[in-house]
Amino acid sequence: MTAAGLYVHIPFCSSRCSYCDFATGLYQSELADRYVRGLISEITAWEDVGRNVDTIYFGGGTPSLLAALQLERILAVLFDKFKISAEAEITLEINPGSATPDKLRAFRSLGINRASFGAQTFDDAELAKLGRSHNTADALRTFADLRDADFANVSFDLIAGLPGQTLDRWQRNIRQALSLAPEHLSFYLLEVHSGTPLAEHIRRGIQPQPDDDLAGVMYEWMLEQATAAGYEHYEISNLCRPGFHSRHNVKYWNGAPYFGFGCSAHSYDGVARRWSNHRDVLKYVSVVESGASPVVEEQQLSRTDVRAEAVFLGLRLMQGVDLRRYRECFGVDLREEHAEDLDRFCKAGLVELDGDLIRLTRTGALLSNEVFAAFV
């Protein structure tokens, strides 16, 4: 049976970024204590004991705000309930300036071997506009501290398409990121979510509308520079040095099982069932404290849903979807079933067929939603 991944959501941050619509709020130590106890109750109640697991991901929020002792307690109960491989990839999201060198060393000694580092941009003016709580000097210092603490697998998160961001500023950002030689790069185009301060600033004309066409140019430029520097473009938004792909995130795209704990966490059994927890942290905590299940939504996928997901999640990976394997799994020839769509996408240069593989081109990666819509 395919090894599962575990996700643990830590919904606390030291400030609220202007574009953020994640399930997260300001860090309060009493609430964080209660939340960790709630997480431990939820994991303790897990019944499918002994499942093979080879990745754990602490996301948020800013999980690095927790004390090493709190993470140690969560890991202990995960190791108790699941059969976790000795070579498991264990990732912690860390924001610049959110952990001292001692704390980073303590995290590393818990077996955490991968850091997902929320750099976002190396431009102080842009960081300030985003409402981030760090500046470039914090990012450089924390990155150096991560290396000193023996983190040999570090991923940078970078955002392109910020309001008012010029190509020149973006290029300086990417040069700075590449000069630090992280093992992995995750690259996001800014999305403006309604209800966020950023959306309100744009509505009132305080900040300009993001320029999607320019963001596309930034994306292409970044891919060219990073691939020339030896990074492999393995997923629409992700690049890595050889062998350093995010083993955890790849599970989301290739249909492997993953189990999420904490508020707003999502799970998938790897067959056809998805479920998710209460989004609100206080609701989550009070439900688990009462001994009830925090699951608030369950979905049984139909065979058509599972087939569609195999295509549009699989296409996110630049290696593409293997048509022969798809036929073996579902008894359907995708090339025949979607002949017209595939012909149209190939002619438009969005998709390419290579033997039994169908994959997005670089242009297709940028316009992926257009392609995915045909398979939903």
Using CB under 6 A as the criterion, which residues of the chain lie in contact with ligand SF4 when the complex forms? 13, 16-17, 20, 22, 24, 60-62, 95, 118
Distance CA 113, CA 93 (A): 11
Q: Which is nearer to ligand SF4, 95 or 368 (CB)?
A: 95
Name the packing angle between helices 323-330 and 303-314 (round to 10°).
170
DSSP lists the bridge partners of residue 260 as 7
Distance CA 155, CA 30 (A): 30
Task: Give min distance, CB of 12 to ligand SF4, in A.
Answer: 8
> Sign of the C-alpha dihedral, residues 266, 270, 272, 273?
negative
Q: Are 153 and 185 in contact (CB under 8 A)?
A: no
Q: Which is nearer to ligand SF4, 22 or 221 (CB)?
A: 22
Q: Which is nearer to ligand SF4, 20 or 139 (CB)?
A: 20
Task: Give min distance, CB of 205 to ligand SF4, in A.
Answer: 23
Task: Give min distance, CB of 328 to ligand SF4, in A.
Answer: 40
DSSP lists the bridge partners of residue 360 as 351
Distances in Å between the Cα of 64 and the Cα atoms of 113, 169, 194, 225, 348 are 14, 29, 28, 30, 44
Torsion of Cα atoms, 178 then 180 then 185 then 189, to 10°? -70
Identity of residue 150: D
Task: Give min distance, CB of 244 to ligand SF4, in A.
Answer: 22
Q: Which is nearer to ligand SF4, 61 or 260 (CB)?
A: 61
Task: Give min distance, CB of 190 to ligand SF4, in A.
Answer: 11
Q: Which is nearer to ligand SF4, 118 or 260 (CB)?
A: 118
Neighbours of 363 (CB within 10 A): 14
Task: Give min distance, CB of 64 to ligand SF4, in A.
Answer: 10
End-to-end Cα, the chain, rounded Å: 27
Q: Which is nearer to ligand SF4, 130 or 240 (CB)?
A: 130
Task: Give min distance, CB of 162 to ligand SF4, in A.
Answer: 13
Q: Which is nearer to ligand SF4, 210 or 364 (CB)?
A: 210
Q: Which is nearer to ligand SF4, 78 or 190 (CB)?
A: 190
Report the relative pairing of strands 273-277 and 295-300 from DSSP bridges: antiparallel
Name the packing angle between helices 68-81 and 101-109 (round to 10°).
10
Task: Give min distance, CB of 304 to ligand SF4, in A.
Answer: 34
